[in-house]
Every structure is written in C-alpha cells, then in structure tokens.
Structure 1
C-alpha cells in the first residue's frame, strides 16, 4: 500500500512541475509505471475528480497567482497552453472574474494540491476468482464515446443498437471460449486537459481463439494472461460501477498483483424477474 501511495503522490508532484508543458496522460502514467487507463481510473475513483479537471484547475490557480504578480493576460494564457479567448472563458467560469479584473480586485481563488491517502474500509467482501486464458482475440463493434463514470452511457447504448445481424452472426460463430457472454471493453482513453474533455474506445464483442475474422468486426489481440474475476450482483449499473471503484480504491492497494497493460472487460446478465438487478463480472488482467 505504501508504495502505490508514494507513486500516486509523486505523480501529483510531477503534474505541478509540468503545468506549463504539454502534459499527457501517457507521460503521467509512464512516470509512475502504470498503464494509462488504470492510472486515470485510480485517480478518479480515489479522489472523486477527473484527472483533466484537476489539471485544468491547478493551471487556473497558478494563472491566478501570476495575474496577481502583474503578468499580462496574453502571457499567462500562452504560458498554460490556452488561446486568449479560451483562457478568458475558462478563467471566468472557474473564478467568476475576468482575468483582467484579478489584479485590480486582488482576487485569489484557491485550488489546493491533492494528496492521496487510503481510508481502510472493512466488512465488505469482494468475491473473486483467478482464471488463466490462452492467447485470445476480443472481436466486435467499437466506437469512440465520451467517458462517463456514473449512470448509463447513451453513446454505448447507440453502439449496441447499431450492430447488424451479419455482425451478430459472425460474433456468435466465432465465440468459442469462456466467458461465452457479450462483453464490454473500454480502452485507449484520451484526455484534453485544457478543454476538460475525454473520450475512449468502447467495444461490444465476444472472446475467441480464432484468427480468421472479417473486416466487418474490430479486433483486440490479447496474449496469454492471468485474470482476476470480480463477481457482483445488485442494482445496475450502480453495483457494477461501485465494484470498479472498489477494485481501485480497496483491492489494488492491498494486492501483491500488478495491473497488466491489457484492457479490462466485463459482462452483465440481467435478472429475469427484475431488470434493475443484474449479475456482472469484471475481468482484470494481472502480472505477479
């Protein structure tokens, strides 16, 4: 636990030292030796704030201090990677003041530096099992969608509805390894730290050991790997999303495993008598 907390807090120091540079999710995650998507997820699940939002507000906080030191609006905007109009809009939304009003009114809006700590929570078991999979492909249909951590993602629903009968038939014919379910995979997340936007690639598909796959389906290649499977059942999607949060905030700091740079996947089976209740599994690839 101490090591992961140190790495996370070191990443916060790294962010502060590079606010005037072109920060990327890759750079930050690479600095602490974590896969990009896992770092981003750890960040939001432990802090409750998105990485892009945090970086944006730290930039604006330091910009606020620079303006109090009589730096020009133009220089400050360029310093933190904004256009003048973009900086003025973002600063006004954040502080309630135009940048040009800061020195005259001697305004300083605080946005403190984060510090990671783990609150130990007992009494809640996490049902898991270990599964080893051979080299596989996840095949299906994918698109870029906005990142969303709560509720139902409308764009993913649209993706599901867009799958053609021919695509469904091929996926059914290819599916030949457990779990023989329709799985959801999110990967290749990006973040725009200035615009505070983020998208990721989401695939709806199946697992297969076959390699003869038509062009109508997208493919994620995954080498032989070990997986921790997290089982959960309850109100959907809340229970599933809560389990993702607990993986990062409770299980990861205590485990001896390290996260592999392989996308997680999950599947959900709804209760026949109550469609608000579902059984789900989250599959997380690990290395010893």
Structure 2
C-alpha cells in the first residue's frame, strides 16, 4: 500500500510538471494497475496524509504556481497552466491556499504556505497488538433514524449528538428490541461517505440496529440495505470518541499495510458494547467492510 500511495504522488508530480489539471489524475485507473481499488487508495491516502488526494493536488498546484509568479510569468499563462479558465478563478484558489493575493506575492515574495511533496514511509510499530477479527456476514438491513451530517474527523460531532439527543428514551428501547442479528445492539452507522474522506463532506448517519435482509421495516424508520461480505471488526476501549478515532488511524498505518485485506464500499458501523453514563468512556466494536486483496 505504501508503494501505491507513493506512485499516486509521483503521478501527481508528473502531471503538474506538464501543467495537467488535477481532474486528469485517474486514481481508480492507477489503483487498478497497482492491484488495489481507487476507493481503498483514497481512504488510505486521506488517513495517512491528513487530507484527501484532491486537497493535496490543490496545495501542490498553488505551491508551484507561487514560484512561477515570483519569477514574473504572465498571470493568465500561469492560471491556464494549472487548470483555471480565468485569472479570477485562479486568484480565489491562490488566496484560499496561501492566505494572500497573487499580487502581494509577486510584489513581496510572500507570505506563502508551501505544500512539500509527500513521501509515504512504513515505520515499524505494532508493539501494542490490535484486537481484530474477521467475520463473514450474509445480507442484512440497518434500520433506524437517519440524517445527513458533515464529516468531522476529531472530537464529538455535534450534529450527530443533537440527532441522538432528539430521540426519546422510549425510542432507544424500541430500537434495542428490534435488534435481531450481528452487529448486535444500538449502532452508529456512517454510510455514503466521500471516498476521499474529506472533512466537511456530507454522509448519512443512522442511529439504529441490524436486522435480517428480509425483515419487515416499520414505516417510520429508515433502512440501509447491506450486501453479503466480509467485515473486519476492531474492539476499542477508553475515552469516547478519542479511542475510536485513534483506532481509525492505527488501522491505516498498521493493520491494513500488514494484512491482505482492503476496504470495500459500504457503511462503517460502531456497536457500543458498554459505556459510562455520561458516555465519556466506552467499549465499542468498529465494523468495516473489507475484501481480500
């Protein structure tokens, strides 16, 4: 996986060197040529780099554009070289990255926020074993109350928190009674997640339970159909949601590079097994859909 991510970075640099736009980088095709999928490559890139591929390309493009500006090249020529149809569109993108206008940079040489070229390296860690198991499951349905929310990487998502708080206690009990198959109990489901896993993009969050694929769904509940397949299940325990979020990072840096599995499209599911009354600590299972490489 590390080699694949470095090849993606190399392709980006090659295209930028000839003035190709970011839209011309076909991550799916590149991933397929290297034996994986675009979905898995994007998720791993985002997890390890802390930004999606598209954001990295934007930052690198504006880093190179700043050098061209300082050398005195024509503004429209630079804008076209980096994929912008007008100097106005280029100017907005330039300011968004550098926090300064192109005129200021041309005149004063800065300020600049440069994006260095990424290099992914594998470090030997693994001193703390990850508690994981692989489970093959038939088709199921996830039923409950769904809402569209923005993706937030760190800390509590206030939109999800408000959604759960809006449900009366009786509804939580009703959902628990409907739980009929693994993963058991009340579930926190994230579906339709942007493959780049970009902060602020929207996803579908469902607070609910798992039932058999042919189970009847009450009219007042939303449903997500989940096809059969393999799941990697990780157990976490500690401060919530910090322990869960650190497990996400460890999976990208330790588990996936060391195991012959990759992410496949599908919802990620958090099953809360035990929790403190104030939810500051919890023991959870994180279910991720995977396939053999």
TM-score range, shorter chain: 0.7 to 0.9
Corresponding pairs, count: 282
Which secondary structure state, in structure 2, belongs to the residue aligned with residue 219 of structure 1?
A: strand
Q: Residue 20 in 1 paired to residue 14 in 2?
A: no
Instruction: Kindly report the root-mean-square deviation, in angstroms, between the aligned alpha carbons of the 2 structures.
Output: 3.4
| 1:219-263 deviation per Cα after TM superposition (whole angstroms, max 9, x unaligned) | 222222222211111111111111111111100000022333222
Q: Which residue of 2 aligns with 1:43?
A: 45
- Kindly indicate whether residue 206 of structure 2 is the aligned counterpart of residue 203 of structure 1: yes
Cross-structure match for 2:237: 233
How high is the TM-score relative to the length of structure 1? 0.81
2:201 partner SS: strand
Q: 1:262 to 1:196 in 2, by over 3 A?
A: closer
Measured after TM superposition, the shift of residue 198 of structure 1 is 2.3
Alpha-carbon spacing, 1:99–1:145, altered in 2? closer, same or farther (3 Å): same
When structure 1 is superposed on structure 2, of 212-221 and 165-174 the one drifting more is 165-174
Deviations 1:14-39 (A, max 9, x none): 44427614368xx4255314566644
* Counterpart residue number, 1:135: 139
Scaled by the length of structure 2, what TM-score is found? 0.80
Equivalent residue in structure 2 for 1:6, among 3, 6, 12: 3
- Give the Cα separation in 1 of the matches to 2:176 and 2:165: 16
Residue among 143, 146, 149 paired with 2:150: 146
How big is the shift at 1:125?
0.9
Whether 1:187 and 2:212 are equivalent positions in the alignment is: no
1:263 is matched with 267
> Could you tell me how far 1:64 is from its partner in structure 2?
1.7
1:65 corresponds to which of 53, 64, 67: 67
CA distance in 1 between counterparts of 2:82 and 2:126 reads: 46
Gaps in structure 2 of 5+ consecutive residues: none
Deviation of the 1:280 alpha carbon:
0.8
1:77-88 to 2 correspondences below 5 Å: 79-81=82-84, 85=88, 87-88=90-91
Query: Which residue number in structure 2 is paired with residue 223 of structure 1?
Result: 227
* Secondary structure of the structure 2 residue equivalent to 1:286: strand
CA contact (8 A) 1:74 1:84 kept: no
Residue of structure 1 aligned with 2:97, choices 94, 98, 122: 94
